[in-house]
């Protein structure tokens, strides 16, 4: 299986901060990397697909980028509704795998 390693696993930030979350794949996955946001008691919500494409309806403060097997989710100016857990997911392999999650908490 392709392993997806996220960092940090948790972070504290303030409203208005720029936040970056990293995800490293254990092998090349081309651009087959998606990002999801999950709030407590809710299903994950798709934010970014194919590394950098914004899902319809998602605010433009979210963006995604990549360098080789390293992928980054950036929130340009953290809003109160952005406090949540974020997961990366590779779809390069038919055996889909997710990262361990990154929890964004209020400082």
Partner 1 sequence: QVQLQESDPGLVKPSQTLSLTCTVSGGSINSNGYFWSWIRQPAGKGLEWIGRFSPSGGTNYNPSLRSRVTISVDTSKNQFSLRLSSVTAADTAVYYCARESVGFFVDGSGNYDFFDFWGQGTLVTVSS
Peptide bond into 8 cis (omega under 30): yes
Residue 90 phi, psi dihedral angles, 5° rounding: -100, 140
Residue the block writes with tokens 């999950």: 38
The residue within the footprint of partner 1, chosen from 16, 68, 80, 94 (CB under 8 A), is 94
Residue closer to partner 1 by CB (options 14, 43) is: 43
Instruction: Mark the segment that binds partner 1 (CB under 8 A) among 17-25, 38-46, 58-66, 70-78.
Output: 38-46
Query: Counting contacts by CB under 8 A, is residue 52 touching partner 1?
Result: no
Report 65-84 residues binding partner 1 (CB under 8 A): none
- Taking CB under 8 A as the rule, does residue 18 contact partner 1? no
Tell which one of 27, 50, 77, 106 touches partner 1 (CB under 8 A): 50
The string of DSSP letters for 38-90 reads E-TTS--EEEEETTTEEPTT--TTEEEEEETTEEEEEESS--GGG-SEEEEEE
The radius of gyration of the chain's CA atoms, rounded to the nearest angstrom, is 13
Catalog residues that contact partner 1 under the rule CB under 8 A: 1, 30-32, 34, 36, 42-46, 49-50, 53, 55, 87, 89, 91, 94-101
């Amino acid at each position: 299986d392709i392993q997806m390693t996220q960092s940090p696993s948790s972070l504290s930030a303030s409203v208005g901060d720029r936040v970056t979350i990293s995800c490293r794949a254990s092998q090349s996955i081309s651009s087959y990397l998606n990002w999801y946001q999950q709030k407590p008691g809710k299903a994950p919500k798709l934010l970014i697909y194919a590394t950098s494409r914004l899902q319809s309806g998602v605010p433009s403060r979210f963006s995604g980028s990549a360098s080789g097997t390293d992928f980054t989710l950036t929130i340009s100016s953290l809003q109160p509704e952005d406090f949540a857990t974020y997961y990366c997911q590779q779809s390069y392999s038919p055996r889909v795998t997710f990262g361990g999650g990154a929890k964004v908490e209020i400082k």
